[in-house]
Amino acid sequence: MGQIKTIGVIGAGQMGSGIAHVAAVNGYKVLLHDVSADRIVKGIEAIRGNMIRQVGKGHMVQADMDAALANISAANELQAIGTTDLAIEAATEDEDVKKAIFKALAPHLSDKTLLASNTSSISITRLASTTDRPERFIGLHFMNPVPIMRLVEIIRGIATDAHTYELAVNFAKSLGKTTANAEDFPAFIVNRILIPMINEAIYTLYEGVGTVDAIDTAMKLGANHPMGPLELADFVGLDVVLSVMNVLYDGLSDSKYRPCPLLVKYVEAGWLGRKSGRGFYDYRGEKPVPTR
């Protein structure tokens, strides 16, 4: 684990709790923070629930689960995160929100603390520029769901130094992850390829080429994808898909990255996918039903 022994995670949602989960399982002491104590409690309960399922499937033994949960503590105040060796921001995919977090954290950071963002699309260089340590700032883009997905994208900002990069790679590998280096361009590697594919599937629906069921069935059976692109969009969150498309469109000024109007409408309606109960599928019944 090198020089990193304690981890601070800012954001107790699906991504933040997933990062806390895998860090705790691998022996790190984790402080989990969110804007309210209730969210932290829900995050820790989500971790507990996921670990119980792992025990039930034989992927973890009870003693290891108990030890991992003992490694996680609630940090009700943001300043507590400043005492950790590595602070990972895993808040909503909004640049202003992320910058505000780093600015608020700055006065409480110890000299040794490394900073990382789990952003899936936003410039690491820009985020780092709002801190007092851009050379000790890096992108650690975990995939969702974090306990299952094996990849972590490592993104260096223009000022990130070699030692920070080495520590970040070693940390990711200590979690059992495989790393892929990505340059600091909009959406990096995975989302640069994945999200426009999802957007094109939404255009295919919007233009009436196929129904939700037809599009997802075609890609699962015709391209051997484990999930159809519209099902995957609901899993990721349609607000996240739209945010990444906007980052690509604004950052690269290429019309091929224009978000589909139907995607915009769904987000405006609050139909964000699984997390809101409706997206391209309606999840409020016993089984998901296409909404178009």
Report DSSP letters for the chain, one per residue. -TT--EEEEE--SHHHHHHHHHHHHTT-EEEEE-SSHHHHHHHHHHHHHHHHHHHHTTSS-HHHHHHHHHTEEE--SGGGGGGSSEEEE---S-HHHHHHHHHHHGGG--TT-EEEE--SSS-HHHHHTTSS-GGGEEEEEE-SSTTT--EEEEEE-TT--HHHHHHHHHHHHHTT-EEEEE-SSTTTTHHHHHHHHHHHHHHHHHTTSS-HHHHHHHHHHHS--SS-HHHHHHHH-HHHHHHHHHHHHHHH--GGGPPPHHHHHHHHTT--BGGGTBSSEE-SSSS-EE--
The reported pLDDT for the residue numbered 1 is 42
> Are residues 152 and 11 part of one domain?
yes
Domain boundary among 133, 163, 182: 182
> Are residues 95 and 139 part of one domain?
yes
> Are residues 256 and 207 part of one domain?
yes
> Are residues 200 and 72 part of one domain?
no
Is residue 289 within 8 Å of 281, Cβ to Cβ? yes
Domain count, the chain: 2
Residue 239 forms part of a structural domain: yes
In the chain, the percentage of residues whose pLDDT exceeds 90 is 99
The reported pLDDT for the residue numbered 207 is 98
In the chain, the percentage of residues whose pLDDT exceeds 70 is 99
Average pLDDT over residues 263-281: 97
Amino acid present at 49: G
∠ CA 45-151-119 to the nearest 5 degrees? 70
> Are residues 283 and 154 part of one domain?
no
> Are residues 133 and 211 part of one domain?
no
Active site residues: 120, 141, 153, 191
* Domain limits for position 57: 6-182
Domain boundary among 182, 212, 229: 182
Average pLDDT over residues 237-264: 96
> Are residues 200 and 174 part of one domain?
no
Cβ neighbours, 10 Å, residue 273: 25
> Are residues 155 and 73 part of one domain?
yes
> Are residues 281 and 251 part of one domain?
yes
pLDDT in tens, 42-92: 999 999 999 999 999 999 999 999 999 999 999 999 999 999 999 999 999
Residue 1 forms part of a structural domain: no
Residue 150 forms part of a structural domain: yes
Average pLDDT over residues 108-130: 96
Q: What integer best gives the mean pLDDT of the chain?
A: 96
For residue 93, what are the contacts with CB-CB under 8 A and spacing of at least 6?
119, 120, 121, 122, 239, 240, 243, 244
Could you tell me the pTM of the whole model? 0.91
Residue 267 forms part of a structural domain: yes
Domain boundary among 155, 182, 209: 182
Residue 128 forms part of a structural domain: yes
